[in-house]
Amino acid sequence: MHRSWIVALVLLLAPTANLWSQQKDDGFVPMFNGKDLSGWQLVNTDPRTWSVEDGMLICSGKPIGELRTDRMYQNFIMEVEWRHMVPKGNAGIFVWADDITAKGQPFHRGIEVQILENAYGKADWFTTHGDIFPIHGAKMTPVNDRGGSRAFPTEMRSLPTPQWNHYRIEAIDGTISLAVNGKVVTRGTDCNPRKGYLCIESEGGVVHYRNVKIKELPDTPIEANMIAIADRGYRCLYTGIDLTGWSVQQPAGAAEQTAEKAAGHWKPSDWVLSCTGAAGTNLPLASDEAFGDYGFVVDFRLTKDSGSPQIRLRGDAAAVAIAGDDSPLTPHLDKVGKWNRIEGEVRGDKVSLTINGTQIEPFAATGSADAKGPLTLVPDGPVDFTNIFVR
């Protein structure tokens, strides 16, 4: 009888053991190690935005911005469980994204898979059940659209806070589909880019993620213009939370002020760093870190009262007027209230840059070619900055 019991037990466990073997060998690998952010990069968020506790990735929601993978993916299946911890929470997963965020935006160019809490309610232009849409220059043909670029789910399947939801994202040959809690509901085709980074979005509310895993599928031939911009080595200097890493430059000979008072009109406004004072009332804001030869990206938005602000790239040795009658950038600026992107590098005594994609005539920096100095924002009235990257 004892032998019969053993045989019965073996027969009972055989299917289970086989299932475990299939789960172990199904090709999926974890995207987080359950301890830290290894394999991921902070793009434009603060280290305090993300934490790993009890095997979960926890996003504080502040500031608005993104966390991205170290490497690109083309064809894959990604699975993730998520739950919002506050009503009306907003988040998302970006697929096939560039290395840094789009001009004047806290998010990447890419395809967004929406993670929206149910308390947002109903609207004609979005749902809370797994919309997919291209963003900031990406392209996609939506399936089940409503006249725009957004693909809408065919069923309402997501669960409200604090319940867990399961997403399965299949991204293959420029097509993308989303299964919500076990059933495919949203689709898009003809995506561009169709190879790039994966990002997790922070957008105001606390979100928990667990069991984040990916199964890579074989790459297929694609055109170069279907590949997102690869990692250029940029890192962000602005936390989106406070002025950590920055100091106000006080005039020589002036009475020493507290850091809070000296900051004056410099206001960290989530992903935007704003200077709100009128001309003549603002002090320059300089990075604590000094740079020699380096590359940079700075996005800025002017008002009608911005005057002639500057960016000093190496202290006083390489100043660029970003607006005003004497600035070579002025003819290439977008209209007041729109974001502009200045990108370039300082090498030796040469400064080269582009403004909104247009190359500007290189010019010489003053002083020693091997000098170092901070990146300094010099306002001449109200002006906004964001996406301050260096490499």
C-alpha to C-alpha distance for 266 and 212, rounded to whole angstroms: 38
Q: Are residues 57 and 107 in the same domain?
A: yes
Write down which residue in 183, 204, 231 finishes a domain.
231
Same domain for 223 and 251, yes or no, is no
18 inside domain: no
Query: Do 119 and 260 belong together in one domain?
Result: no
Are residues 180 and 297 part of one domain? Answer: no
CA distance 206 to 367: 48
Q: Is residue 344 included in any domain, yes or no?
A: yes
Residue ranges of the chain with per-residue pLDDT less than 70? 1-25, 252-262
Same domain, 197 and 329: no
Does 82 lie in the same domain as 127? yes
Domain match, 253 and 354 both: yes
- Evaluate whether residue 309 is within a structural domain: yes
Give the per-residue pLDDT at 48.
96
Structure tokens at 188: 């898009």
Within-domain flag for 6? no
Both 347 and 267 in one domain: the answer is yes
Take residue 342 and report the two structure tokens written for it.
């200045």
| Bridge partners of residue 178, in order along the sequence | 169, 186
Q: What is the pLDDT of residue 124?
A: 86
Please check whether residues 276 and 304 belong to one and the same domain. Answer: yes
DSSP-assigned states of every residue in 301-347 = EE-TT--S-EEESBTBTSEEE-SSTT-TTGGGPPPTTSEEEEEEEEE
Residues 130 and 208 in one domain: yes
The pLDDT of residue 364: 87
Count of domains for the chain: 2
Domain ends where: 191, 206, 231? Answer: 231
Choose among 227, 208, 239: nearest CA to 42.
Answer: 239
- pLDDT at residue 316 in the model: 81
Which range marks the domain in which residue 314 is found? 246-390
168, part of any domain: yes
pLDDT digits (tens, 9 = 90+) for 137-153: 999 999 999 999 999 99
Question: Where does residue 237 fall: left (phi above 0), alpha (psi -120 to 50 degrees), or beta otherwise?
Answer: alpha
Q: Both 172 and 320 in a single domain?
A: no
pLDDT of residue 267: 95
Residue 19 lies in a domain: no
For the stretch 316-375, pLDDT in tens is 888 899 999 989 999 999 999 999 999 999 999 899 999 999 999 999 887 777 789 999
The CATH number assigned to the domain holding 364 equals 2.60.120.560
- Residue 80 inside a domain? The answer is yes
DSSP assignment of 185-249 equals EEEEEEEES-BBEEEEEE-SS-EEEEEEEEEE-------GGGBPPPP---EES--SSS-TTEEE-
Can you name the residues that pair with 20 across neighbouring β-strands?
A: none
Backbone angle region of 337, left / alpha / beta, with phi > 0 → left and psi within -120 to 50 → alpha: left
